[in-house]
Chains A and B, each alone.
Chain A
Amino acid sequence: MTRPVLAIHGGCGAIPRADLTPEVNHAARSALRRALQAGYALLISGASAADAVAEAVQIMEDDPVFNAGHGAALNRDGVHELDASLMDGESGRAGAVAGARRIRNPVRVARALAEAGDPLLLIGSAADAWAASHGFDTVDNAHFTTPARVAALHTMLERERLGTAQGATEQEKHG
């Protein structure tokens, strides 16, 4: 038996240390811990690496701190378009969705597409329809919106209007 291990990231657009409030610091760290513990619990119960990564990513998709799922960034039209993928190292199978607007947990659908094998990648409303027809939760696009992302969108559009978009921080761009 191999000794299991799980590693995660929540994005490299971390809030600058000076701006990191104790509340956000705590919220982010506890969400990372929850994702690690949920995925690792599967690994030590004998589940596959694919099960573990899907579980850990879903926890972070559901947490508003991170730019994925609930808490995702908004495109310039004020709409969420979600992308996700999963790849299994044993079989080489992979699945992905891009530009999805209604899938609550895109990583779960990516996992199912990896198992289906073909198609591998579905986009937009076709991805949403495939998810719904295969029993996955679909929600209104507004489900993914948080006040922080609305504020970030206004900031970025204002920067573009003023010609200062190049100076945007990773955090303003990605959150």
Chain B
Amino acid sequence: TVGAVALDGHGHLAAATSTGGYTAKPAGRVGDSPIIGAGTWADDRTCAVSGTGKGELFIRLAVGHDIHARMLYAGQSLEDAAGGLIHGELAALGGGAGLCAVDRSGNVTLPYNTGGMYRGWIRGDEVYVAIHED
């Protein structure tokens, strides 16, 4: 699974996700990537999110929308909302998971609970790319 989130020069957010699913999945099985509110979410009031990992859990927890809701209704930061789900509910359910997210102020978070996640961000002259801790 691959994904991207962006904040543009006009202050608008967007998210996109694309995947082949997982190896040896049943024919016809669909995960969270095409499910808006689960693997993909964007709302200018809060954040943009793209997820990766055990799709069935992202759907059950409506992860993308839940991060948005924790920010909009509970006033949580992006980092707390996203990290809370990845290291909290998703980890507790035993789901390998990760995501990239950006908020309306341009803060970025890239949490994951597996051994590594291909990830990166770019802002001005700064480019960050990592797989494991680095």
A interface, CB within 8 angstroms of B: 1-17, 20, 25, 28-29, 32-33, 35-37, 39-40, 43-44, 46-50, 52-54, 56-57, 60-61, 65-69, 71-77, 79-90, 92, 94, 96-99, 106-107, 110-111, 120-121, 123, 144, 149, 152-153, 155-157, 160, 169-170, 172-175
Closest A residue to B13 by CB, please name it.
Answer: A89
**B31 contacts the other chain (Cβ, under 8 Å)?**
yes
Q: Which B78-108 residues sit within 8 Å CB-CB of chain A?
A: 96-102, 106, 108
CB pair A75–B14 under 8 Å, yes or no, is no
Could you say which of B5, B20, B97, B115 contacts A17, with CB atoms under 8 Å apart?
B115
**B122 contacts the other chain (Cβ, under 8 Å)?**
yes
In this complex, how many residues of chain B approach chain A with their Cβ under 8 Å: the count is 72
A1-B9 CB under 8 A given contacts A68-B20, A85-B17: yes
10 further interface pairs, Cβ-Cβ under 8 Å (given A6-B121, A87-B15): A11-B118, A12-B112, A32-B120, A52-B4, A53-B6, A68-B2, A81-B25, A85-B16, A85-B40, A88-B42
Q: Give Cα A44 to B6, complex, Å.
A: 12
CB pair B116–A72 under 8 Å, yes or no, is no
For B96, the chain A residues whose CB sits under 8 A away are 12-13, 170, 173-174
Q: Which B24-39 residues sit within 8 Å CB-CB of chain A?
A: 24-31, 33-36, 39
Could you say which of B23, B35, B39 contacts A174, with CB atoms under 8 Å apart?
B23
CB pair A85–B39 under 8 Å, yes or no, is yes
CB pair B10–A2 under 8 Å, yes or no, is yes
For B100, the chain A residues whose CB sits under 8 A away are 7-9
